[in-house]
Amino acid sequence: MQFFDSHAHVNFSAFKEDGEEVLKKCLAEGVFVANVGSQYSTSQRAVEYARKFENGIWAIVGIHPIHLKEGSFKYSDPDEVEEVNIKTKGEEFEYEKYLELARDEKVVAIGEIGLDYHHFEENDDVEVLKNKQKEVLRKFIELANEVGKPVMLHCWDAYDDLLEILQNNPVEKKGILHSFVGSYKTANKFIELGYKIGLNGIITYGESYDRLIKEIDLRNIVIETDCPYLTPRPMEKEKRNEPIYVKLVAEKIAAQKNISVEEVAEVTTQNAKKTFGI
């Protein structure tokens, strides 16, 4: 069976000591990986990792919306099973720098980019920050269209605004709405625009997303880990997530759809490869 972790962060500091070994293990166990940048340094590292492998490991480059503001915050996933302190640099988007990275043949998408209205702090000028996120997202869409690649989208508490931007600023190669936690109705709006829905370990935390899994056609789903975060059950929440655990996400989808894990692996891998143009 071949699996495709469409959204991983082996390029993050959690894998500083063993990232290359983790990726080798993934390939040995039939898991392709797309490492996703959240700022220039991790985007660059994703490309460096991808260049070390002839096939099976790719890079995605961009700025996560939280990194547009300097500060730090405690990250909790939607089901409050883990908490991580994350520092943000307040990076300024430099089009030409990212354009150079994005042109690399190992880069299969632009991201993770998008909107995050969840992590504002008490003293933030929320409207200013929202407008900055929107402006940078539109510039990244322009960049994605220039290099002819899809986008990897992050969205938290901002689905309506994201939908409006995508409708008014079409991405030619479409892309993936990663770590989706909304309703089927919301997912369908993005599917109608041509986007795939990324599901990860969050769907294994209980029954909250069972209906979503059942109602989305498998042809519109890609699987991911978002590692080192969101470790799927039955793994312990304190355990570092890794791309090989994407198999547990596939197993949950298979169980809810009453189909084989093999079918989930085959279809979601083809979905990812088609989206990424590989």
pLDDT at 109: 99
The length of the chain, given as a count of residues: 278
Structure tokens at 259: 């189909």
Calculate the average pLDDT of the chain: 93
Q: Which residue has the tokens 């799927």?
A: 232
For the cut 90, the answer to whether the pLDDT of residue 86 exceeds it is: no
pLDDT at 87: 54
For the cut 90, the answer to whether the pLDDT of residue 12 exceeds it is: yes
pLDDT at 221: 98
* Percent of the chain whose pLDDT exceeds 90: 88
pLDDT at 239: 94
Average pLDDT of span 188-192: 98
Look at residue 5 and give its three-state secondary structure: strand
For the cut 80, the answer to whether the pLDDT of residue 230 exceeds it is: yes
* Distance between CA atoms of residues 253 and 164, nearest Å: 29
15-29, 83-97, 127-141, 234-248: which has the minimum mean pLDDT?
83-97
For the cut 50, the answer to whether the pLDDT of residue 201 exceeds it is: yes
At 269, the pLDDT band (50, 70, 90 cuts) reads very high
pLDDT at 125: 87
Structure tokens at 217: 């056609």
For the cut 90, the answer to whether the pLDDT of residue 223 exceeds it is: yes
pLDDT in tens, 21-54: 999 999 999 999 999 999 999 999 999 999 999 9
* Distance between CA atoms of residues 250 and 253, nearest Å: 5
Residue 227, φ and ψ in degrees, nearest 5: -60, 145
- Order of strands, edge to edge, in the sheet holding 3-8? 3-8, 31-36, 57-61, 107-116, 151-156, 175-177, 196-199, 221-223
* Greater model confidence, 151 or 85: 151
Dihedral, CA atoms, 210, 214, 220, 224, nearest 10 degrees? 30
Look at residue 30 and give its three-state secondary structure: coil
For the cut 70, the answer to whether the pLDDT of residue 84 exceeds it is: no
* Distance between CA atoms of residues 169 and 47, nearest Å: 27
For the cut 50, the answer to whether the pLDDT of residue 80 exceeds it is: no
pLDDT at 120: 78
* Distance between CA atoms of residues 234 and 165, nearest Å: 37
For the cut 70, the answer to whether the pLDDT of residue 136 exceeds it is: yes
At 195, the pLDDT band (50, 70, 90 cuts) reads very high
Structure tokens at 266: 């085959």
120-134, 153-167, 194-208: which has the minimum mean pLDDT?
120-134
Please measure the distance between the N-terminal and C-terminal CA atoms of the chain and give it in whole angstroms: 18
Average pLDDT of span 171-185: 97
Q: Is 73 exposed, middle or buried (0-12, 13-18, 19+ CB in 10 A)?
A: middle
